[in-house]
Amino acid sequence: MEALAVRLSGFDPYVDGALRIVTFYDTLMRRRVDLPALARASAGLAECVTGIRLHGTGRVTRVSPHGTEPTAAPAPASSEAPVTLDDEEIGTVWLERPGPAGPLDEVVLDRLAIAVAAAVERYGPARTTMADPALVELAISPDGDEAARARALRLLGFAPGPLVAVAVRSSLPLDRAAALCFPGAAVKAAPLAEVGVVLAAAREALPDTAGLPAGFRAGVGAAGSPERSWREARTALRFTTEREPVVRHAGLGALALLAEVPAAALRDNGDVVAVGRIAAGQEELATLDAYCATGSLRRAAELLHLHHSSVARRLDQIAKVLGFDLADPRGVTRARLALASWRLSRD
Q: Specify the pLDDT at position 106.
A: 94
For residues 144 and 142, what is the distance between their CA atoms, to the nearest angstrom?
6
- The reply to whether 2-123 and 261-345 are identical in fold is no
pLDDT at 209: 67
pLDDT given for residue 314 in this prediction: 92
pLDDT of residue 82: 94
Rounded Cα distance, 51 and 41, in Å = 11
Confidence (pLDDT) at 12: 57
Does the reported pTM lie above 0.95? no
Question: pLDDT value at position 230?
Answer: 96
Contacts of 73 (CB under 8 A, 6+ apart): none
What are the extents of the domains in the chain?
2-123, 133-259, 261-345
CATH dotted code for 261-345: 1.10.10
Going 339 to 296 to 205 to 146, the CA torsion angle's sign is: negative
In the prediction, which pLDDT does 238 show?
94
pLDDT digits (tens, 9 = 90+) for 141-194: 998 789 999 998 988 888 888 999 999 999 988 988 888 888 877 789 999 988
Listed as ranges, residues in the chain with pLDDT below 70 are 1-13, 56-57, 124-127, 204-210
- Report the alpha-carbon distance of residue 29 to residue 31 in Å, rounded: 5
Give pLDDT, residue 126: 56
Which pLDDT does position 13 carry in this prediction? 67
Q: What is the pLDDT of residue 9?
A: 44
User: pLDDT by residue (tens digit) across 224-249?
Assistant: 999 999 999 999 999 999 889 999 99
Does CATH place domain 2-123 in 3.30.450? yes
Give dist(CA 21, CA 17) in Å, integer. Answer: 6
